[in-house]
Amino acid sequence: MKRFVKSLSSFKSHIALLAGGILADQLSKLGAVHGLGDLLMSDGFLYSRRPFEIVGQWIELNLAYNKGAAFSVTPQKLLPFLHPTLFFTLITFCAFGALAVLYRRRPMPHFSTRLGVILVVSGGIGNLLDRWRLGRVVDFISVGLPDMPWRWPTFNVADSLICVGVGFLVLADNLDVSLFKTRDSAGGVPVDVAETAK
């Protein structure tokens, strides 16, 4: 496990993960629009006529669009004089700047922090590309309880990457200790695996 983690710790690996996340998000959205969109509305966008069940009503695919943030949150209403796309572009680049600083200041063995940054940035770019191209974000994953009127806000792969990335950032210290620390067989003293592997 530690060897696998170390193989994902190089800058090249992070670039590959970043590109892979963006590609997975954009391809999944393209597939959703062409595979689920069967109803052309007056705004010129395709929507789903009915949800496609994956695991009963627990997990469904239902094409929708979101002009707000992740999970349909609408923080752009705080600055209504800004165009939503401009608002989210500014917010996204500010977040990228802060994450870039965090990435540089947390070198190995802070693997979880860096992985969290990569996932958040990958998801952020994926949704930002939608805003630049469509003025809204493509969502298509719907989860909820059967026969319940309320469902979790529809989301996409980029939203998932952001949430998982935030989870890595929040739990980074504990995760890195479990991944990179072992105990010296002689005295039971914690030893940094990244150091011993040098």
Q: For residue 81, is it left (φ>0), alpha (ψ between -120 and 50) or beta?
A: alpha
Which residues, at least 6 apart from 17, have a Cβ–Cβ distance to it below 8 Å?
8, 115, 118, 119, 122
Tens of pLDDT, residue by residue over 65-113, are 988 766 556 666 777 777 878 888 888 999 999 999 988 887 655 778 8
Whole-number pLDDT of residue 8:
66
Residues 181 and 193: their CA atoms lie apart, in Å, by 6
pLDDT grade, residue 137 (50/70/90)?
very high
From the list 130, 159, 173, 176, the catalytic residue is: 159
Domain locations in the chain as residue ranges: 2-196
Q: Comparing 126 with 192, which gets the higher pLDDT? A: 126
CB atoms within 10 A of CB 103: 18
Tens of pLDDT, residue by residue over 15-49, are 999 999 999 999 999 999 999 988 888 778 888 88
Active site annotation includes 173: no
From the list 25, 130, 139, 176, the catalytic residue is: 139
Which residues, at least 6 apart from 5, have a Cβ–Cβ distance to it below 8 Å?
111, 179, 180
* E strand or H helix that includes residue 65: strand 59-66
pTM of the model: 0.79
Active site annotation includes 139: yes
Which residues, at least 6 apart from 113, have a Cβ–Cβ distance to it below 8 Å?
102, 103, 106, 168, 169, 172, 176
